[in-house]
Structure 1
Amino acid sequence: MNRRKAIGSILLLAGAGTAVISGFRFHQLYKTPDLRKLSEYRALIAALAETIIPETDTPGAKAAGVDAFIINMVMDCTSKKEQNKFIEGLDEVTAYTYRKYHRSFVDSSANEQQAVAAYFEKRDRPYKGIAGKVSHKLMGDSFFIILKKYTVMGYCTSQIGATRGLAYDYVPGKYIGCVTLQPGQKCWATD
């Protein structure tokens, strides 16, 4: 009889602990985000975007002004839970970089920045199958998914990205369904 009560008490305690942790996580996701932090993290956002689309023979994300685009998209076009995840992700990048390299992400070398970005990309990889769909529906996109999505979107829609990063065709000609691509050919951007 005492064993049954002990098992019941343990299960009740475990359930209560799980409910408290879930409630805290729910509160963290749906609280009002501190959007002022985004302007404080502008240099970090620019450095992260430059890690995703670096400057090569074409301009990178910094030159295209993607950091301002990302901040505007997070502030105006992103759900509250994804805003919280993005700001939390920026805090985590800062803490992880200081813990690992003893300096900020912006002051780190290119190899260190790529290592940090690779760590967060691997960590934030979505689940596969039904679990991924349920997680996406309940929790929204993860920090690095949001960052990559807005970086690519901002770069491809910027003037520099569309004209110098992509092969810009202001007035496209006729439709040709199958075109042979040349080695090193750029993607197309049209108006």
Structure 2
Amino acid sequence: MDRRKALKGFLLFGGGAAAVAAGFKSYQWYRKPDLQQLPDYKTLIAELAETIIPRTDTPGAKDANVQDYIITMIQDCTPTKLQNKFMDGLVDVQLYAQAQYNRSFLECSKEQRHNVLAHFEKRDRQYSGLAGKVQRKLFGDSFFVTLKKYTVQGYCTSIQGATQGLAYDYIPGKYQGCATLAPGQKCWAT
């Protein structure tokens, strides 16, 4: 066999395989997600959010019903690509917990839950600089970034989060664009 023919065949085969892989990934991202299963994951989402913002001397994410906020945001305000990534991420969390600890995420200890989320945070970390901007523009936010973003937004806009987790002044008075905080002082919600 001639080297040119072999090289052409190799390139043709490699290009075809890359096109098939890209088409399959594109199909996975843009297919219509089965969002009717999302309420079935409510307990898992609540425990994931509670692992991100646990109850301490202030209320945790479950106390603020962040799971309801996350479900609403995924169903109504998230693009199809990110909905699919989020649904796949929930399945991945369960599979990873089962593979690592031989139990579901809900049955894991606090330390094991923290380790599972640390794995997903490390796995889903975006590149820095221009490469990160391009990655985010092309592929969107990852599962963990979406989960963490909606958890923090839901907590900070809830009554428990705004009044007990953050400093809340019902009538804030004049606007101060830059105010120094004393050590141990809470951030302002208003």
RMSD: 1.2
TM-score (norm 1): 0.96
- Kindly provide the amino acid, as one letter, of the partner of residue 156 in structure 2: C
Equivalence for 2:130: 130
- Kindly provide the amino acid, as one letter, of the partner of residue 152 in structure 2: V
The structure-2 alpha-carbon separation of the partners of 1:178 and 1:48, relative to structure 1 and needing over 3 Å to count, comes to same
Structure 1's consecutive aligned runs of 4 or more residues displaced over 4 angstroms after TM superposition are none
Q: Which whole-Å deviations, capped at 9, do the CAs of 1:32-60 have from their partners, x for residues lacking one? A: 00102211111110111011111110000
Matches within 5 A, 1:27-42: 27-42=27-42
Equivalence for 2:50: 50
Aligned residues: 190
- Kindly provide the amino acid, as one letter, of the partner of residue 77 in structure 1: C
Equivalence for 2:175: 175
- Kindly provide the amino acid, as one letter, of the partner of residue 92 in structure 1: D
Higher mean C-alpha deviation, range 130-139 or range 173-182: 173-182
Q: CA deviation at 1:135?
A: 1.7
Equivalence for 2:166: 166
Q: CA deviation at 1:6?
A: 0.5
SS in 1 for 2:186: coil
Question: For the residues of structure 1 that align with 2:176 and 2:27, how far apart are their CA atoms?
Answer: 52
- Kindly provide the amino acid, as one letter, of the partner of residue 14 in structure 2: A
TM-score (norm 2): 0.96
Question: For the residues of structure 2 that align with 1:12 and 1:116, how far apart are their CA atoms?
Answer: 40
Q: Which whole-Å deviations, capped at 9, do the CAs of 1:123-161 have from their partners, x for residues lacking one? A: 111112222222211211100000000000000000010
Equivalence for 2:157: 157
Question: For the residues of structure 1 that align with 2:159 and 2:180, how far apart are their CA atoms?
Answer: 26
Uncovered stretches (5+) of structure 1, i.e. residues with no partner: none
SS in 2 for 1:169: coil
Uncovered stretches (5+) of structure 2, i.e. residues with no partner: none
SS in 1 for 2:58: coil
- Kindly provide the amino acid, as one letter, of the partner of residue 17 in structure 2: G
Question: For the residues of structure 2 that align with 1:89 and 1:53, how far apart are their CA atoms?
Answer: 19
Higher mean C-alpha deviation, range 106-115 or range 178-187: 178-187
The structure-2 alpha-carbon separation of the partners of 1:179 and 1:68, relative to structure 1 and needing over 3 Å to count, comes to same
Q: CA deviation at 1:178?
A: 4.7
Matches within 5 A, 1:40-189: 40-189=40-189
